A and B are shown apart, each in its own frame.
Chain A
Amino acid sequence: MKIDKLVKMANEIAAYFDADPDRNAAADGLASHLSRFWDPRMRTQLLAWVDEGGGEGLAPLVREVIATRRPQLLPRTG
């Protein structure tokens, strides 16, 4: 999928959770949302793109979630 679309979607989700004054709760909310609603191929692609040195244009909360809650974003093993 086009990475710019994934970035846009992730940023829009972050914009919602970013309104929470509790930063930890905001990060938990974003991580949970991505994990519960995104197909794993979308999460995997976003992570791979960040790993390759990308990440440009991602909202700070998304970067934070990828850095601190990465296992939650990986495909489930069943």
Chain B
Amino acid sequence: MDSIHQPDLGTPTRSSTQTVTLTVDGVAVEVPAGSSVMHAAAQAGVRVPKLCATDTLEAFGSCRLCLVEIAGRRGFPASCTTLVEPGMTVTTQSPRLAQLRRGVMELYISDHPLDCLTCTANGNCELQDMAGVVGLRQVRYAQGANHLDARKDESNPYFSFDPSKCIVCSRCVRACEEIQGTFALTVLGRGFASTISPGGTAFLQSECVSCGACVQACPTATLTERSLERAGQPDHTVETTCAYCGVGCSFRAEMKGSEVVRMVPSKRGGANHGHSCVKGRFAWGYATHRDRVTKPMIRDSIHEGWREVGWDEAFAHTAARLRAIQARHGAGSIGAITSSRCTNEETYLVQKLVRAVFGNNNVDTCARVCHSPTGYGLKATLGESAGTQDFDSVEHADVIMVIGANPTDAHPVFASRLKKRLREGAALIVVDPRRIDLVRQPHVRAAQHLQLRPGTNVAIINALAHVIVREGLHQEAYVRERCEHDAYDKWKAFITADENSPEALEPVTGVPAAAVREAARLYATARNAAIYYGLGVTEHSQGSTMVMGIANLAMVAGQLGRPGVGVNPLRGQNNVQGSCDMGSFPHELPGYRHVSDPAVRALFKSAWGVDVQPDPGLRIPNMFDAALDGSFKGLYVQGEDIAQSDPDTHHVQAALEAMECVIVQDLFINETAKYAHVFFPGATFLEKDGTFTNAERRINRVRRATPPKSGLADWEITMKLAQAMGVAMHYDHPSEIMDEIARLTPTFHGVSYEKLDRLGSIQWPCNDAAPEGTPVMHVGQFVRGKGRFAITRYVATPERTSSKFPLILTTGRILSQYNVGAQTRRTDNVVWHAEDVLEIHPHDAEQRGIVDGDLVAVASRAGETVLRAHLTERVQPGVVYTTFHHPESGANVVTTENSDWATNCPEYKVTAVQVRRTSARSPWQRSFDAFSHEQAGLLPGGSDAAE
């Protein structure tokens, strides 16, 4: 069932610029051409009874409840499938219509349990409502064949399926097809025997991805959230933003007092338009998990027990330790890491703390290990460190190139929109070492899958550009008008050299030259071609080069600056874009302005009253190195788990152990907290106000639905730490922080909470030139003025396979888990992914005597871990793959310190390894077990809360 009090216009809103005027029950109404009569009636304030119709789905016309009379027409057309015409006169209420509708309802109710008072949907049931609306007073049919004893399917942990309550309106089937694009549901049988089924099996065993679209679409209690079954109907809603991936879906938190009953995607959401995935829709139980730490804790060494203290003591203790370190080792001996899971206002405050209170630029963020090459590469070529489009843009794309991304797993709500466009006829090019799901799915098939060897991205992007220019498919006039000529001429000479031809590079990439040529032609000749990319682009030794190569390709093909085209980084975490925007990098102040710029520093000095240092600070990997050489001693980590997520775990652990004061602010005792001396209990997204900025630069409000369990929101913790360190930093509400951001950041000048509440969301830049934001950037000209082509010579990664390490390990993520898993592992999502496994091609497995399910040791030059093997042809021979959602898996024990040349983004995607059968956990895993056991015993009461 849809969210309470969320209006439903019956059929989708059309966007035609032509309008049609008609009369409904005597009320004149003007609607876009192509609208249904039902939709027009709703706009006129007339609610036509309905069951199979809802405005998120195309009209179906099966329930026959929405019949109307139209002057001059015979019969009783269904208002949902009848389109408006000029001058049409519609009557929605008459004695004959009432009789027909009662007859329809009588049939439905004759095969429906009459347990309304104890039914889960009581209080929000369309069937019950319609029975009331049509005035049903009796059911004359005798007890006969029925579905009342149909068995309930409770296999899915988040929702149940009770077919005895099903009216076979097909809303669930259509939602699965039209919105989600999974086609997991179907109607089995014919006529009276028709039943809804997830492919003839139980939901949990089916192809269902638990996005919740079917549950939301169901007009009865047939598909119902378990949480609703437990809690009953909510009493109010709070509109907020999901705290999982970079899609940034808007949700309505349906509340009962301060308890969340369920999360329902908001139709107003600019990013998701009412859709969701299993994480945002269902996996929010971590917010009340028993592992939550809700009191501040301190200790002198990591082998001592934690001591719970009050907030005042925690701040005084921490401030004293940090100031003492600075007194002994200098101002630059401490730093901080901002969180891409926290709000813009919170990340802004952390970088302000570093720059205005610590007195240095040692601030970094998790984008260091994911999309820092995006920031570098797009700024260098196009002039702005962000994606160029809104998500709606994909609806105008004729060719879609997905590079190094797996949207159906990592950005599922965007993937659904992408798949919808593919079903409408757009062509797909996939560039990925793995055969991701998009390559071939029901109703989706890639025109080209360039299955390259890991580490050869730049060779492929150069080969694509080579073909476009050499075959004369480039847009010379576009480039001459919009780009720097000198840089373009140098690049053109470089890219057209024979060494960049697909034929010359085929031995490097492993991709047939003919396939590269076909893909290049497809991309360059499309009316609108768009590129979407992920961490398979950035997490390489040439990550920044590849981003620039992508920008080169889009510029030379003229595929930038209008809807349907563009360069679109799919951001990993919910607020990666925002944390970067807010000055979380050690070289940039908010708005991507370099710290060496005197005018920018003067601006911040005028606001903060202190000098900002003119030199860049340490990046995260530099912090680790400096910790080991003794010049970096204190680190404040807000909402990140660097001990699990960052590469070369041995190195990270050693660096953390070398520091004198590690402060972790988080929901749980994560891996990093085991090395901490201070723990500040953080707040979930449900417990605070603020904003997130998603991958399309959309600033969305986060609204407090329930009080912070620790008493303080994360922004308050940072503010009070600053105060304890002697700086008068004070805000009464995050809106005041946003006001400061807007004053100091040109791309945010027009942003305010008042405007966000009024418009729903805003895509920056938002200023006098674009007071309501900028959905598509680089229209007319590039942000940097003239676009700049970069020479992108392919340089092989230093990570080489050898006889000792003959396979390439590449890492990624899956649908049900999120990043380090701290949240999703504490939900029922573990039923889909209880452990990380190693995907290995059957050929490689056979050579090593490995069968599916075997324990295998994965060894690299950095370390060794043990995982369970999963044999699959999704990976090519020579390549193995795993995820990093479970800390005990130790995926990053194996990854190396190799990194992107420009940004130090780790090369997670290429690690030379050997795989062998084993029967025991690795030495690192045994040491991890022992250390985790020790740390659990050091918690107050020796709790088992530690992971």
Contacts and interface: CB of A to CB of B under 8 A. Distances in A.
A16 B622 contact: no
A2 B616 contact: no
A36 B619 CA distance: 12
A13 to B, nearest CB: 5
B663 to A, nearest CB: 21
A22 B793 CA distance: 14
Question: What interface size band does chain B fall in?
Answer: 35 or more
Contacts of B631: 41
A69 interface: no
A12 B901 CA distance: 5
Contacts of B628: 1
Given A1-B622, A12-B901, A40 B615 contact: yes
Given A9-B901, A16-B545, A19-B791, A41 B626 contact: yes
B791 A2 contact: no
B611 A22 contact: no
A2 B629 contact: yes
Interface string A18-44: 111110000000000101111111100
A60 B754 CA distance: 56
B901 A16 contact: yes
A52 to B, nearest CB: 17
Interface string B862-886: 0000000000000000000000000
Contacts, number: 74
Nearest to A17: B791
A8 B210 CA distance: 46
Interface in B600-614: 611, 613-614
Nearest to A10: B901
Interface string A44-78: 00000000000000000000000000000001111
Contacts of B596: 35-36, 76
A2 B545 CA distance: 26
Nearest to A38: B616
A70 to B, nearest CB: 16
Contacts of B618: 39, 41
Contact of B902 (A8, A13, A19): A13
B362 to A, nearest CB: 8
Interface residues of A, number: 27
A77 B611 CA distance: 12
Contacts of B793: 15-16, 18-19
B616 A39 contact: yes
B594 interface: yes
A39 B902 contact: no
Given A1-B622, A5-B625, A39 B615 contact: yes
A16 B794 CA distance: 9
A75 B490 contact: no
Interface string B658-697: 0000000000000000000000000000000000000000
Nearest to B631: A41
A39 B622 contact: yes
Of the candidates B362, B596, B622, B631, the one having the most CB atoms from chain A within 10 angstroms of its own CB is B622
15 contacts: A1-B622, A5-B897, A12-B795, A15-B901, A16-B795, A19-B494, A37-B587, A39-B618, A39-B626, A40-B615, A41-B332, A41-B618, A41-B626, A76-B596, A78-B611
Given A9-B901, A19-B793, A41-B626, 20 more contacts: A1-B625, A1-B628, A1-B629, A5-B897, A12-B541, A12-B798, A15-B795, A20-B791, A21-B490, A21-B493, A22-B490, A36-B587, A36-B596, A37-B587, A39-B332, A39-B586, A39-B626, A41-B618, A77-B614, A78-B611
